[in-house]
Amino acid sequence: MSALRRGDTLHYSELVVWTAVLIGIPAWIAHLVFEAAMVRFTEVHPGWEWTLHAVTALTAVVTLAGMAVCFDLIRRADRARRAAPPAAEEDEASDVALSRFIGIFGLLLGLSNLVLILAEGSYVLLVRHGG
Supply the pLDDT for residue 64: 98
Supply the pLDDT for residue 86: 66
> How many DSSP H helices and E strands does the chain contain?
4, 0
Tally of domains within the chain = 1
User: How far is 47 from 70, CA to CA, in rounded Å?
Assistant: 37
**Proportion of the chain above pLDDT 90, given as a percent:** 58
Given a cut of 70, whether residue 100 has pLDDT beyond it is yes
Please give the backbone phi and psi of residue 128, each rounded to the nearest 5 degrees, phi first. -65, -35
Confidence (pTM): 0.84
Q: Which of 25-34, 56-65, 93-102 has the lowest mean pLDDT?
A: 93-102
**Domain ranges, residue 51:** 2-85+94-127
Alpha-carbon 116 to chain mean position = 12
Supply the pLDDT for residue 91: 60
Mean pLDDT of the chain: 86
User: How far is 32 from 36, CA to CA, in rounded Å?
Assistant: 6
Q: What is the pLDDT of residues 71-82, one digit of tens each?
A: 999 999 888 888
3-class DSSP assignment, residue 131: coil
